[in-house]
Structure formats: C-alpha cells, structure tokens
Chain A
Amino acid sequence: MPEKKIRVLVAKPGLDGHDRGAKVIARALRDDGMEVIYTGLRQTPEMIAEAALQEDVDVVGLSILSGAHNALVPQIIQELKDNGQENIVVFLGGIIPEDDIQGLLEQGVHKVYGPGTDTREVCKDIRSAVSAEA
C-alpha cells in the first residue's frame, strides 16, 4: 500500500498582497514530498475552510503579514471545527509579535514561525504533527 501523501493547504488570509513567503514555503513542502494546494491571495476564513474541506487536507499553513492574525486565526480555526475538521493541524507564519504567540497557540495553532525560519524545520514539524494525529 503506497503511503498516504501529506496534503497541505497553504493560504493567505487577509488583505496584504505579498505571497512570496507563502510560495517559498509551498515549494519547500513540495520538495519534501508533500502535496501543496495553493489558493492565492486575499482568502476569507470561510474560503480557507471551504478549500480545506474540499481538498481533505491534513494541514493548513497560514501566512499573515498584515497584523490581522488575532482576528483571522480564531475565525479560521472555528470554521474548520464547524466543518468537522478539528483534526487539521494549523501552522502560522509571518510577522507575529512575541506577545501574541501564546494566545494563538491556546486558540489551537500548532506552531508559529517568524521570518527567516529554516523551511526544513517546518517540514519536520509537519511530519511529526501529522503522524501524531493519525
């Protein structure tokens, strides 16, 4: 039986228009053997949850540079739960102030990554988080 591929939705919620970071991480995950579904810019929490549902992903990776993480992330996690996908592992990358991180982790974010994170670390974290879920 071929091993199931890890499927990751890489999404950019909010209004900022830069997806370079999201694309870098998408490529790193692909090069690590994962299937990355990329949805583009300016996604609402509802759109992200809907894409996660249709694609049956194991992981949602969010990239937020706009500073709106405290508003957006809880909404996204709630939408995923409402859809019955509370098992999805949620990662967050971007410019997130130190003071906000604890609160986000308590909301259900698995881990928060700042700028300049080694992508190999992200890949490793995803693999161990997904195998723990299974």
Chain B
Amino acid sequence: MPAELTSELRKGNRLALSRVLSQIEKGSEKSVRILESLFPFTGQAHKIGITGPPGSGKSTLVNALARQLRTLENHPKVAIIAVDPTSPFSGGAILGDRVRMQDLQGDKGIFIRSMASRGALGGLAAQTEMMSQAFDAAAYEYIIIETVGAGQSEVDIVNLAHTTIVVDVPGMGDDIQSIKAGILEIADILVVNKSDQLGADQSVKHLQNMIAMGYRGLRYAGGKHRLSATMPQKQEEVETTGWVPPVLKTVAFDGTGVDKLADEIVKHGKYLKETGLWTQKAESAITDTLRKLIQSTLYQQWRQTIPDEELEDIIIQVLQRTLHPHQAIKQLLSYNKITRN
C-alpha cells in the first residue's frame, strides 16, 4: 500500500498526495516508509516561509503570490502549507486561511493544505519539513509555508525555508512596531503589506533603518545579535556576498507589488544557489529535522517502557523532595532494565 501511494503521488495523483500528507501528520509507521521512498526525489523545491503578525494579510498575500509564481516560465506548481494555532483547551482548531485563497481553487497546479500547529511529532518544524518533502517529490517547485509570527516554533519553521518573508503593516509611528526584533532578524525579504493605508512609506523607512543597524551591528559586534546559533550560515551569507533584505510595499488584495515580490524570491533563490548556501540550508534543515526526530522517537520509546503510575510516583517523590531530580532521571531511564531482568 505505501508503495502504491508513493508511485501514485509521483505520477501526480493529488488524492494520493493528500493521503500521504495525512499519514505524515499522523506520524504513522506507514508515513516513515513513504518518506523513505520519496526522499531520493526531493531537494528541488524552493521553500518560502511567510510569517508576520495576525491579520497582517499573509493569506491574502500568499493568494496573490501563488498566482504570480504560476505565471513564471514553465508555470511551476505551487504548494501552500497554511498553519493555524491549535486551541490549547480542546485540541481542536479552526483553519481559516483558505477563505483568503479562493482565487486559487480552480487551478490544479496549486495545492493548499491547512494544518493545526500543535501535537506534531517532533515539533511543528519537523512536520512542515516532512510535508514539504512530499510536495517536493510530487514536483511542486515552490512550497509556501504560512505561519503566524508569534514564537520560537515559527522561527524554527522559517529557518527550514530557503527564503523567509516577514510581513508587517503600516504602523502608527516609529516606536510602535508590530514586528519583534527577533523576527525581523530572520527575514530575507521584508514586506509592508496594506500599503494602501496611511504610513506605509514611514514603515518602509523604519524597517530599512533597522536592517541597516543590524548590519552595522553584525560587522562591529561579530553579529551576535543578528544571528542565532542554529543558523550559522546566515552569518556567512552576509559576510561573503551580502544579501541585504529588500523592503517591499504590497497591497495584497489587488496584487500591487506582488510581481516585484515574486522577482525578489526568484532572485534570492538564484543567489542561494550561486553562493552554495542552497545546499547548506538543505543540510541544516535535514540535520535539524533528524535531531528533532531522534529526540521525539527516543522519548516515545522510553515513555512506552514505563507505566503512568510509576512515572507519577517518581514525580511525587521529587515534589516531596525525597528524591533529587538527578536520581529520578537515573531511575526513570533504567526502569525498564531493572524490571525486565
């Protein structure tokens, strides 16, 4: 059955692709085998992360961008992974990004998949990476991943992308900025959407200033505050040839500025390939995914070796301070061996 799904996916069967995505989301045994067989056919797609504050127009922009990318030479296929938060109370989710992507429904060269953020095996980033692999093997040339720019998991996701787009909207002044500094630092391209509204030029200027400051900081302070330890290549990226993130203005609902955005994405892709950063990014994405998978797999394996009551019992002992956390770890890790032998 997995073999059949795989070959159907490769042939362009969209239902097979959709079912593979579900298997990946479930983290099933089957999905592991499917991904193994798809892996040799991956590595071609250009992964684009789009993040930014809630309501900044990301989905509307993705809608316009996907259409624009479809008009490029050879009409490349475009996949969209739209992530929305899971409700912490019920574990359910309302995934509403498709509402803004209605223009894309009639185009069979575009595939939109909505995804809830929590409960992913090995974390959200590992999951979107594996879903990207399925799209990649199904010959989608561009994979756009939309997430709300809120925290570390979003940063992790966009770190897996080749090109990261951070979306902002015109602010109310220089000191009120919706984008946090940490998010700004991961941008390859900055977009001021809703630039039909007042203050767009001011926002552009402000972002350009922040970027300029970031670069000076990089040169004179070793770049520590711009660069996270997980993305050392970014440092080189700036130091070698210097991709300076452009700041673009868009009006997502009428498409203004979106052609320029598509151009910059293509340009950034070429730049990554010319500098060897494309391969480096792929490597770091794979290493990162591997590391997370190992963590979650080991955790799950270990968790199965120990009954709930036993775990609770040990936690209680730690809470009562009759057992030190170090001793607890020792007991927990060796529980299986002790009881079986």
Contact = CB atoms under 8 A, between A and B. Distances in A.
B55 to A, nearest CB: 16
Interface string A48-74: 001101111000000000000000000
Contacts of A32: 90, 92
Contact of B18 (A2, A29, A55): A55
Interface string B15-28: 10011011000111
B27 to A, nearest CB: 7
Nearest to A42: B102
Contact of B92 (A36, A47, A51): A36
B111 interface: yes
A4 B26 contact: yes
B316 interface: no
Interface stretch (B35-43, B112-120, B267-275): B112-120
B176 interface: no
A20 interface: no
A53 B112 CA distance: 10
B15 A38 contact: no
22 contacts: A4-B26, A5-B91, A5-B92, A30-B92, A30-B94, A31-B87, A35-B92, A35-B93, A37-B95, A38-B94, A39-B99, A39-B102, A40-B98, A47-B106, A51-B105, A51-B112, A53-B18, A54-B18, A55-B113, A56-B18, A56-B22, A85-B15
B95 A38 contact: yes
Interface string A10-30: 000000000000000011011
Interface string B114-137: 101001010000000000000000
Contacts of A39: 98-99, 102
Interface string B81-108: 0000001011111111011001001100
Most buried by B among A34, A38, A47, A54: A54
A86 B237 CA distance: 50
Contacts, number: 81
B14 interface: yes
Contacts of A31: 87, 89-90, 92
Interface in A63-103: 83-85
B90 A38 contact: no
A83 B15 contact: yes
A132 interface: no
* Closest A-B pairs by Cβ, 7 of them: A40-B99, A30-B92, A56-B18, A33-B92, A47-B105, A56-B22, A33-B91
A1 interface: yes
Contacts of A37: 95-96, 98, 114
B283 to A, nearest CB: 30
Nearest to A50: B105
Contacts of B114: 35, 37, 55
